[in-house]
């Protein structure tokens, strides 16, 4: 019976994937199946990693807790729906759960819905979440390609094939759903930027994505929303009026507008209240130092909950979040793989510096500035509050593909590699 349900679910996923592929008109259609295969395999590998290397973890906790709610759905569907909507200690199901932290509980509820389709099969549920994340990434990449064809290879590299990003945004973990929601919002942002019509179904997906991202990774949204709101306001109200003004003046106007959504965000979650925000960052930093190995941590000089201390340590946090651990800091095979990727990112970053002048003159410099600011702010925030290399490698998927996109745009090293691959392929065809 389990094999039957597995075949049915895999067949359904293949059918949906085929419909997406067959309806795609982009030049990247030929990479759809390789990219999807990599994503689905990554989700399975993540489950194997947690089972045989970590001997358990959040992914199996979410699944096992989710099966308890799935059992409730099969016995009393109305009670199950009520619990999904407003579950608290007044429900018997509440007492059967172990993970009651709000974000974990939300994830458990989502997994329970997926389990209804997978017939409580962890691996099939993992495939569903990987597929959802891939679909969102695919549509974003096709939108980027349509907006700027020259960004095609950079987008494909960053959003579909960069190993650690693909791995840590796959399978039955919060990042799979959070990244899917984030990418959908970025996709809609680009459509609005290009003055395209947003269809009714997309408005529904926007609402769901905002809700899901806020419940799972609210700090992604807290950085993303002020930046995109400011950019859209500047784009449609000020951009054409100040085309001839100096760049520094336009940046000053952008920063002035930015204050308004930033203040709004600071009032919608307790952790962002001005009198608490710095305390939360520093408290998280020292909590990680208590529970982590000494050689698996980022260290900051005299780290305190003051603006001066945050600004003093922000450059090192940015550097560490983007490029560490180094190979000589890698004490495990996993950290060694991450460190090799980090060396690649550092090389690409250095070679990308030759394009700084070109970026400043680009007609899309406002978009590139917005993406860069998102990367810098989120990276600094995560590296300061989550100084554990292993945890940070997973958390940084929220900004990593955007960073890869930025440093891959017309990168001379990648351009030479692309030419080499094309020539090699041409020789093989002959």
Q: Which tens digit of pLDDT belongs to each residue from 220-279? A: 999 999 999 999 998 888 766 766 667 777 778 888 888 888 888 878 877 777 778 888
The listed range with the strongest mean pLDDT (17-26, 90-99, 190-199, 377-386) is 377-386
The position carrying tokens 């305390």 is 279
Q: Which residues on neighbouring strands pair with residue 388, listed in sequence order?
A: 297
Average pLDDT, the chain: 89
Q: Which residue has the higher pLDDT, 36 or 90?
A: 36
* Average pLDDT over every residue of 368-379: 93
Which residues, including other chains, have CB under 8 Å from residue 234's CB and lie 6 or more apart? 250, 253, 254, 257, 366
Quick one: DSSP state of residue 149?
Answer: G
CB atoms within 10 A of CB 114: 23
Buried b (16+ CB within 10 A) or exposed e, 267-295: eeeeebeeeebbeebbebbeebeeebeee
Of all residues in the chain, the percent with pLDDT exceeding 70 is 95
Which residues, including other chains, have CB under 8 Å from residue 244's CB and lie 6 or more apart? none
pLDDT-derived band at 421 (thresholds 50, 70, 90) equals low
């Amino acid at each position: 019976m389990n094999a039957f349900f597995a075949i049915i679910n895999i067949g359904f996923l293949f059918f949906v994937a085929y419909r997406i592929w067959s309806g795609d008109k982009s030049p990247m259609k030929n990479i759809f199946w390789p990219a999807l295969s990599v994503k689905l395999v990554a989700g399975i590998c993540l489950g194997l990693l947690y089972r045989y290397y970590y001997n358990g973890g959040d992914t199996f906790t979410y699944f096992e807790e989710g099966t308890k709610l799935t059992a409730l759905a099969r016995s009393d569907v109305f009670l199950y729906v009520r619990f999904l909507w407003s579950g608290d200690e007044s429900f018997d199901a509440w007492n059967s759960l172990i993970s009651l932290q709000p974000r974990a509980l939300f994830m458990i509820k989502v997994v329970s819905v997926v389990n209804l389709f997978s017939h409580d099969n962890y691996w099939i549920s993992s495939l569903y979440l990987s597929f959802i994340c891939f679909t969102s990434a695919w549509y974003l990449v096709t939108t980027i390609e349509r907006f700027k064809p020259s960004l095609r290879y950079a987008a494909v590299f960053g959003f579909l094939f960069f190993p650690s990003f693909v791995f840590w945004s796959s399978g039955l973990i919060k990042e799979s759903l959070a990244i899917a929601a984030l990418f959908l919002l970025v996709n809609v942002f680009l459509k609005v930027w290009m003055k395209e019509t947003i269809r009714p179904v997309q408005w529904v997906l926007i609402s769901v994505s905002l809700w899901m991202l806020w419940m799972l990774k609210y700090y992604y949204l807290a950085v993303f929303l002020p930046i995109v709101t400011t950019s859209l306001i500047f784009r449609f109200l000020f951009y054409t009026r100040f085309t001839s003004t100096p760049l520094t003046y336009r940046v000053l106007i952008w920063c002035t507008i930015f204050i308004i959504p930033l203040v709004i965000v600071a009032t919608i979650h307790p952790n962002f209240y001005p009198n608490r925000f710095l305390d939360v960052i520093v408290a998280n930093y020292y909590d990680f130092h208590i529970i982590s190995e000494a050689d698996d941590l980022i260290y900051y000089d005299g780290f305190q909950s003051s603006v001066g201390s945050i600004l003093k340590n922000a450059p090192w946090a940015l550097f560490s979040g983007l490029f560490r651990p180094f190979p000589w800091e890698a004490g495990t095979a996993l950290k060694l793989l991450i460190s090799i990727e980090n060396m690649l990112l550092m090389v690409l970053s250095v070679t990308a510096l030759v394009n700084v002048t070109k970026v400043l003159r680009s007609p899309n410099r406002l978009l590139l500035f917005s993406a860069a600011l998102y990367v810098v702010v989120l990276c600094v925030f995560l590296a300061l509050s989550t100084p554990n290399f292993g945890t940070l490698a997973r958390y940084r998927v929220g900004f990593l593909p955007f960073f890869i996109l930025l440093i891959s745009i017309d990168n001379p090293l990648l351009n030479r590699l692309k030419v080499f691959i094309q020539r090699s392929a041409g020789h093989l065809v002959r």
